[in-house]
Amino acid sequence: MPARDEDHRLLADFRATGSQAAFAQLVARHLDLVYSVARRRVGDAHLAEDVTQAVFLTLARKAASIGSEVVISGWLFNTARLVANNAMRARQRQQNRESSARSLATTTTSSGGGG
């Protein structure tokens, strides 16, 4: 059975019965692809693991809306890129907030204010 057909069979089984075994097979088949896309995008192994987990959670949530014309490996690739980009933006926002908080704390402390 071609890989595309096998992916759709596994996804259909997961949709119909909630088969954890079918979903686990999908994850096993595509884990390396999703992780490698995430790792290249974010440049950090731990963040790439978080992105990978988020991608497969998204697959589980959206399984019912993925049609038979969709190439699941392509869907996972694109979803990994989008989730990785969102993770990088979130990390940048957090770093900016932390930097602003440090600057504010330094300014407050050096000016004798704060209380």
Q: Domains, the chain, ranges and CATH?
A: 3-107 (1.10.1740.10)
pLDDT at 4 (0 to 100): 84
Q: At what angle do helices 20-42 and 72-110 cross, to 10 degrees?
A: 50
pLDDT recorded at residue 60? 97
Low-confidence ranges of the chain (pLDDT < 50): none
- CB under 8 Å to 42, separation ≥6 — which residues? 48, 51, 84, 87, 88, 91
pTM for the complete prediction?
0.83
- Three-state secondary structure of 10-43: HHHHHHHHCCHHHHHHHHHHHHHHHHHHHHHHHC
- Both structure tokens of 5: 């057909």
